[in-house]
Amino acid sequence: MTRLVADANVLISAALARSPQAPAAQIFDAALDGRLELITSPMLLAEVTDVLHRPRLRRYLSGDEADRFVADLRVEFAFVADAPQPHQRLCRDPADDYLVALTLHVQAAALVSGDRDLHELVDPAITVLSPRQALELIQQEP
């Protein structure tokens, strides 16, 4: 089974998806169905919680719905400890370094992200896939 770390932007897209055909929603469903192992951690869930509670997202989901989504992430998927700190400085945005460290720490096949900075890592220590690329990887599994 493929083990992936999904960036907060992918998880947030899944929470806000209006169509089950959205790539982030399909990744979320594949993890729920057991077709892939999706990794979460305290730092990742804290970031998702922070973003989902921003006032501009209230028109898409309530605070209670955001809390339920994050609780489901923790229960339904592989919840692991964050990678030990300090995290190696690899990303243009140092706030993303924890994702690279987490992906390495859990020996995930890839980090799934829509963040261009992560896709443009110079000498990346990990594989970074877009949500569509991750779906292709999942579909190749026997």
Task: Output the pTM of the full model.
Answer: 0.92
- Please name each of the domains of the chain with its CATH number: 2-140 (3.40.50.1010)
d(CA 5, CA 131): 11
| Dihedral angle of Cα 116, 119, 120, 125, to the nearest 10 degrees | 140
Kindly provide the residue ranges of all beta strands, DSSP E only, lying in 1-142, ordered along the sequence: 2-6, 36-40, 78-79, 110-112, 128-129
Please give the DSSP secondary-structure letter assigned to residue 53: T
Residue pLDDT, tens place only, 9-42: 999 999 999 899 999 999 999 999 999 999 999 9
Find the length of the chain: 142
d(CA 13, CA 25): 7
Residue pLDDT, tens place only, 58-93: 999 999 999 999 999 999 999 999 999 887 787 778
